[in-house]
Amino acid sequence: NDSLRGVDFSNVLENPESATYDAVRDGALFNYNMLAYLDSEFILNISRFILEGGNPKELPNKGWRPNMAKRGAIRSVYDGRYKLNRYFSPQEHHTPASIEELFANNDLELFDLHSDPYELNNLTMNRTKNGELLVAMNDKLNGLIETEVGEDSGQMLPGGEDANWTLDPSISKLRM
């Protein structure tokens, strides 16, 4: 099926014992928009309202909305050694192609799980020393998204493509 994205791993099933970590793809891709966790103040308002005896049916009339500018969407890749996590606003789906774009529009984490299995040393804190590794992992992440997902423009979120979930400076003033 040409319209179904993904990777054929039938060759690995023939002899799974001999398969290497990267036999099927360059890394494990994790795509998630954490809308339920995006804005703790929004959840706190709802919780307080209900705990104080408020009627849940009145919630839509309260006018509370999550702050969608917060960076609660994640794109992540693990390649067997390194793990890159890229957090961004769900209103700003984008495919960063440079280190400047990465730092401008994302919160970043990069860990070497061989030497730091508990993820205590964020390698992005030393941009000079780890910049090339960061760019390489980002390229790997972008490649996996392209292969397994296709365009990542927020089309899976409420309102789909018509909701304009992409990073567009010309409409940033309209956002919360």
Residue range 117-126, pLDDT digits in tens: 999 999 999 9
HSE-CB at 6 with a 13 A cutoff on CA atoms is 7
The domain tally of the chain equals 1
What pLDDT does 96 receive? 94
Task: Give me the CATH number covering residue 133.
Answer: 3.30.1120.10
Q: Specify whether the CB–CB gap between 79 and 29 falls below 8 A.
A: no
Query: % helix / strand / coil in the chain, to the nearest 5?
Result: 40, 15, 45
Could you tell me if residue 78 is inside a domain?
Answer: yes
Could you tell me if residue 156 is inside a domain?
Answer: yes
Could you tell me if residue 5 is inside a domain?
Answer: no
Residue range 69-126, pLDDT digits in tens: 899 899 999 999 999 999 999 888 899 999 999 999 999 999 999 999 999 999 999 9
DSSP-assigned beta bridge partners for residue 76:
30, 85
What pLDDT does 175 receive? 45
Residue 146's H or E segment, with its range, is helix 127-148
Could you tell me if residue 13 is inside a domain?
Answer: no
DSSP-assigned beta bridge partners for residue 30:
76
Q: Categorize the per-residue pLDDT at 15 as very low, low, confident or very high, splitting at 50, 70 and 90.
A: confident
Could you tell me if residue 117 is inside a domain?
Answer: yes
* 135: pLDDT strictly greater than 70: yes
What is the pTM assigned to this prediction? 0.78
Full domain range(s) for residue 81 = 26-36+69-161
